Structure 1
Amino acid sequence: MTNRNTESPLAWIDEAHKYVGMREIRGTRHNQTIVKWLSQLGAWWRDDETPWCGVFTAHCLTAAGRAIPKHWYRAKAYADYGTVLSRPAYGCLGVMSRTGGGHVCFVIGETSGDRLVVIGGNQGDQVSIATYPRSRFSHFVWPARGNGVPSLPYNYRYTLPRYANGQYSQPLSEA
């Protein structure tokens, strides 16, 4: 039996998966996909070296018809947007604090340890699937609908797919 989340995809997670492996370009050249997102979102800068996890998140959400916070380029702005959840749900935003700012990504699973599997932009200067300790997250947020109306995940979204450490292409069997 597979996890119901992998059988009932979310548009913003599908959009995020399209870009796994896409990297920023160091130096004076910039990744044109990231530059395009910046233009579409109305950013005043056009480089891929300014932290862009919020840019990636905003792109995925808007492509899926979901609302984004006013300051979509700031990772911590996602903590005050949408519906704050008491625990992670498949597809929710995970917001973390770090020295000098924050990080935002989408929760897509968990490992057998106390780590969450996420997909996000600007993780090692690329869009990647990674794990972080659950304790690093300050907020879990369900994205608001496109018209800004808050929404909640279906209850089954709280049963996260379980992945083997380092094996994020396919969740473990739930059987």
Structure 2
Amino acid sequence: MDEPRWLARARRNLGVKETPGRASTPSILKYRVMARVLLEGDDGAVPWCAIFVNAMLEAVGVRGSRSGMARSFSRWGKALPKDRIPAGAVVVLSSDRGPASGHVGFACGVSATHVWLLGGNQGDAVSVAPFRRERIVAVVWPGVEPVGPAMALKVAAAGAEVSDA
């Protein structure tokens, strides 16, 4: 199966970075409009991981959660098993900022201990970053789309696995 169109769209945005200071990056402001999440504030003050996921889904004709909250995706789409993650699945992670907080991105790789997410607001940019699998709160898929096959586990060389981003 080819990569889901929302993941392909997200890949084209790799490298978009926040503008330091009180300014905002035009691309990130555009994500807010695309996502239908019109939050005010500069990039550094507004968490935009859910905005990015919503924008990429909406850009390809899939209705997102239309919320700026990462955890909103826990109640969106079709729930999938946490141990069989297809490329492009929306993965919701816990956060140390409390039970209402979290992070969200698109799965693009897995290992026994980590899931790699392509997402926004990862290191203040659109990037791919690894996260520990025990942080997974939910794995979901757009309800109207056929679910892709689970990704094969990556085999990492000893010590090659990267810690949390």
**TM-score, structure 1 length as denominator?**
0.78
Equivalent-residue separation in structure 2 for 1:119 and 1:162 (angstroms): 16
The sequence identity of aligned pairs, in percent, is 28
Give the residue type in structure 1 aligned to 2:93: M
CA displacement at 1:161 relative to structure 2: 6.3
Matched residue count: 152
CA displacement at 1:47 relative to structure 2: 2.3
Give the residue type in structure 1 aligned to 2:57: L
Equivalent-residue separation in structure 2 for 1:44 and 1:121 (angstroms): 15
Corresponding residue for 1:171? none
- Find 2:62's aligned residue among 53, 60, 66: 66
Give the residue type in structure 1 aligned to 2:121: N
Q: Does 1:159 align with 2:159?
A: no
Corresponding residue for 2:109? 109
2:54 aligned counterpart, secondary structure: helix
Structure with more contact order per residue of length (Cα contacts < 8 Å, sep ≥ 6): 1
CA deviations 1:10-55 (Å, max 9, x no partner) are 1101111111111111212210111122234240415212100001
Equivalent-residue separation in structure 1 for 2:155 and 2:38 (angstroms): 36
CA displacement at 1:159 relative to structure 2: 3.0
CA deviations 1:126-151 (Å, max 9, x no partner) are 11111111111110000233xxxxx4
- Find 1:48's aligned residue among 43, 47, 57: 43
Give the residue type in structure 2 aligned to 1:22: V
The CA RMSD over aligned residues, in Å, is 2.0
In the superposition, relative to structure 1, how do residues 91 and 163 fare at CA in structure 2: closer, same or farther (>3 Å)? farther
CA displacement at 1:109 relative to structure 2: 1.3
Equivalent-residue separation in structure 2 for 1:142 and 1:44 (angstroms): 25
Q: Does 1:25 align with 2:19?
A: yes
Query: Unaligned stretches of 5+ in structure 1?
Result: 146-150, 168-175
Q: Is the 1:35–1:46 Cα contact (8 Å) retained in structure 2? A: no
Corresponding residue for 1:79? 74
